Copies of this chain bind each other. A is one copy, B any other.
Amino acid sequence: MRILVTGAAGFIGSNLVDRLLAAGHGVAGFDNLSTGFLEFLDSASMSSRFRLVRGDLLDPAAIAAALDDVELVFHLAANADVRFGVERPRIDLEQNTIATSNLLEAMRTRGVRRIGFASTGSIYGEAAVIPTPEDAPFPIQTSLYGASKLAAEGLIEAYCEAFGFQAHIFRFVSILGERYKHGHVLDFYRQLAEHPDRLRVLGNGRQRKSYLYVQDCVDAILLATEKASARVNIFNLGTDEYCAVDDSIGWICEELGVRPEISYSGGDRGWIGDNPFIYLDCARIRALGWRPRYSIREGIVRTVRFLAENREIARRFA
């Protein structure tokens, strides 16, 4: 099958591209390289079944050109950093909502009607039910990032109803693993690489977090896209465990062999819009036969190893 991946040079996107190529598909990668890295596509670029289209989803003509012969789009391009929202309130609207609208319009015009979408557990806001199922009570948004992804989900669903699209929507917890390039593991790794004797932590260290290893995430995306056949298919993706920020600090320090003095900024959230606890009920994807192969601890350790083994590129991460 010929598949377009937006955000192909990103963390999850590039891992998905590699897996699609390994499965024998033809893959067009679309990326504006604003936060992606060409290096993440080094192995993909060795395949004759891969081509990269450098373009921006805010440029409708560029997207239309990338859709030639495409049957399925995995839409992973996004502003993926929830923390930018407060400083730049428009970025999520533009990069996540308007970009998705442009993509859907281009797909509609070109007759491409299958889409897989990377959404987020952030859209549950401060969930009233934990672990949170896909049909949780109607949420109240607590971040511009979550709001922009909710808006994109709504657009995709409306295109399914109005124009015969089929969608697979994935609400992720935070993803870890090779090519991970923003978030608290990077922050802690960098601080400790610079001065192994001290670590500054946003919040009180007791914020609970749920994580999923990137290859487990890609497994779930591929399985659900193959097996779930409703018009709109929505899946939470996460592990059935969680950890505290302090747990992850312990595992990172152990992997690096350091024992820093830790100072906390205090409070039960790291930044405005930070959610104290995202923990998803993943029974729906498990019912398709999926199981994560890696624990949160293993995911964190693999992430730290990736960062340590790729110091040159990791210097350029956000």
Does A252 make an interface contact (CB < 8 A)? Answer: no
A135 partner residues in chain B, CB cutoff 8 A: 128, 137-138
- Of the A-B pairs whose beta carbons lie under 8 Å apart in the complex, a sample of 30, sorted by A's number, is A86-B162, A90-B101, A93-B101, A97-B97, A97-B151, A98-B98, A125-B157, A134-B138, A135-B137, A136-B138, A138-B139, A140-B157, A140-B234, A141-B153, A141-B155, A141-B157, A141-B161, A143-B161, A143-B162, A147-B154, A147-B155, A148-B154, A151-B151, A151-B154, A151-B155, A158-B273, A161-B272, A161-B273, A162-B272, A162-B273
Does A89 make an interface contact (CB < 8 A)? Answer: yes
Query: Lowest 8 CB-CB distances: which A-B pairs, in order?
Result: A151-B151, A147-B154, A141-B157, A141-B154, A135-B137, A147-B158, A142-B161, A144-B158
Copies of this chain held together in the complex: 2
CA of A90 to CA of B85, assembled, Å: 24
**Chain B residue at minimal CB-CB distance from A128:** B135
Does A150 make an interface contact (CB < 8 A)? Answer: yes
Question: Other CB < 8 Å A-B pairs besides A147-B151, A161-B272, 15 of them?
Answer: A89-B108, A90-B101, A90-B105, A93-B97, A93-B98, A98-B98, A136-B137, A141-B158, A141-B161, A144-B162, A148-B154, A151-B151, A158-B273, A162-B272, A162-B273
- Partner-B contacts on A (CB < 8 A): 85-86, 89-90, 93, 97-98, 101, 104-105, 108, 125, 128, 134-144, 146-148, 150-151, 153-155, 157-159, 161-163, 232, 234, 272-273
